[in-house]
Structure 1
Amino acid sequence: MQVKDKIAIVTGAGSGIGAATAKHLAKHGAKVVVSDIKEEKAQMVADEISKEGGGASVITANVAKFEEVEKLIADTVKKYGQLDVMVNNAGIGPRNMARVGEYTLDDWDSVIAVNQTGVFYCMKQALIQMTKQGHGNIVNIASLAGLKASLNNISYSASKFAVVGMTKSAALEYATKNIRINAVCPGYTESALLDKLLSVRPDMDQRLKSVIPMKRYGQADEIADAVVWLASDNTRFITGQTITLDGGTSL
């Protein structure tokens, strides 16, 4: 995939889909800024990339804080001179899953702050830089929960529907600026979020697999493949799209 020598930021890159994406980008020749709220996890991913001969650096950031997003973009441009690819992967789930009437305000506020507002902050600052340099590519990590109903999960669902909408709106606004913006919508994927759910509700494992036609969860590497493809020059005529990777669940 054509990402060689591109400068890419991946948020939430300390684990899961973010880590897999950072490694895939580096494997194909991109220079990757591994960004995560947890510096130790980000450094482990960057070290692994370096051991494999790739180029990586670490910049910690909490995407829910605008000043930290500003610094993330500014420090990347200061170090590398430009920003070619922004992968907005950082995301969280609620502490407690519940119906809307019983949903806590803390769970609503925290999830929306990271998953929705954080993506807006990162898109806003990345687009300022990409407009200046005359090119760019943004890939947002949404979810199957941003395309269909998700029970007892109102903040997560709302945030991921918002990511899909923001992706399409921004793609339309910047289509004439040589900037492409797309999203991927993973279904049930092996990740920290899924592990958290299954630790609370072990009975959900077989129930979830029963609604997936392929009868298995997705792998982080499989999602990363699609992200890097969208971030590459192989997809120069694709913008404003959502690619669903769910093993057929949405069928």
Structure 2
Amino acid sequence: MDNTPTTDTTDTSTAPAAPGLLAGKVAFITGAGRGIGAAAARLFAREGARVLLAARTEDQLKAVTEEVRAAGGIADYVVCDLADADSVRAAVDRTVEVYGRLDVAFNNAATGIPPGPMDQVSEADFDHIYAVNLKGPWLAMVAEVAAIRATAGTGAIVNNSSIGSLRGNPELPAYGATKRALNSLTESAAVTYGPEGIRVNAIAPGTTLTEMIRSWEADSPGVIDRLNAKTPLRRAADPDEIAQAAAWLLSDRSSYVTGTVLRVDGGMRA
């Protein structure tokens, strides 16, 4: 018996790269001009998806789209106001026009109002945050389900909620209320469309370094440090870390996950 050690001469440098997490999929992303949405656009494209970016601000959308393309990704954009039903439906329809199908959607866009107790929230601010943070994702999900049914047949949707939706939120009561309602919509959609092979989940980010948290910091200096002190990892998330969770839930690797609200909060609610 020859026990002489052998050397593996396989040349791994020419081995094909592993397919991306979202390879072959068409992804629609709202709020894609900045923050978590922009991070998701970059990530989803790197993971093989063709992406359609939607937001209200065209110059931001154009900049992120050009960045994705420069990195070798496939991207286009459409201006969309989540508070306008026709605009939302047109944005989803545009995805199908550009790419011929819709497989997955990340309903990320949201708006905030100045922090403070609920008796200091104006009726106009409450109506606006409801229209964008709850009615907007509802409109988007309805349009996305129709597009997935008509093209890909099966797919996945992720809604961006908040860790602030999972308990009383005295500093951001209206924001927390809309996000808690979004959790309910997510669960209802998962039960309704699961038999068709359409999965619906949500993520609940903790403190994340976006324009929204920086605006809150400007109104309430020290708030990021206070939140980090309540977070076992003792830091805020980068937007890409939140996008990574959304990408996994949209991918086939989470094929048996639906109806969940996944905490991505550094352990804040542990």
Per-residue displacement from partner, 1:23-68 (whole Å, max 9, x unpaired)?
1100011000011100100111111100100000011100110000
Counterparts of 1:157 and 1:205 in 2: how far apart (Å)?
A: 17
User: Residue in 2 aligned with 1:156?
Assistant: 175
Structure 2, unpaired ranges of 5+: 1-19
Aligned ranges 1:26-41 → 2 under 5 Å: 26-41=45-60
Match of 2:133 among 115, 118, 124: 115
Counterparts of 1:103 and 1:73 in 2: how far apart (Å)?
A: 32
Bigger radius of gyration among the two:
2
User: Residue in 1 aligned with 2:109?
Assistant: 90
Over aligned residues, Cα RMSD in angstroms? Answer: 1.0
User: Residue in 2 aligned with 1:147?
Assistant: 166
User: Residue in 2 aligned with 1:124?
Assistant: 142
User: Residue in 1 aligned with 2:29?
Assistant: 10
Counterparts of 2:72 and 2:145 in 1: how far apart (Å)?
A: 30
User: Residue in 1 aligned with 2:78?
Assistant: 59
Work out whether residues 118 and 170 of structure 2, in 8 Å CA contact, stay in contact via their aligned partners in 1: no
Offset at 1:246?
0.7
User: Residue in 1 aligned with 2:123?
Assistant: 105
Match of 2:225 among 206, 214, 217: 206
Counterparts of 2:213 and 2:223 in 1: how far apart (Å)?
A: 10
Work out whether residues 230 and 268 of structure 2, in 8 Å CA contact, stay in contact via their aligned partners in 1: yes
User: Residue in 2 aligned with 1:218?
Assistant: 237
User: Residue in 2 aligned with 1:177?
Assistant: 196
Offset at 1:237?
0.8
Normalising by structure 2, we get a TM-score of: 0.90
Offset at 1:164?
0.7
Counterparts of 2:126 and 2:168 in 1: how far apart (Å)?
A: 16
Counterparts of 2:226 and 2:92 in 1: how far apart (Å)?
A: 41
User: Residue in 1 aligned with 2:68?
Assistant: 49
Per-residue displacement from partner, 1:103-133 (whole Å, max 9, x unpaired)?
2112211111101000000001111122223
Offset at 1:188?
0.8
Structure 1 stretches of at least 4 aligned residues deviating more than 3 Å after TM superposition: none
Offset at 1:206?
2.3
Per-residue displacement from partner, 1:3-36 (whole Å, max 9, x unpaired)?
1121111000011100011111000110000111
State the AA in 1 paired with 2:216.
Answer: L
State the AA in 1 paired with 2:195.
Answer: T
SS class of match (2:32) = coil
Counterparts of 2:224 and 2:263 in 1: how far apart (Å)?
A: 21
Counterparts of 1:213 and 1:79 in 2: how far apart (Å)?
A: 44
SS class of match (1:59) = strand
Offset at 1:203?
2.7
Structure 1, unpaired ranges of 5+: none
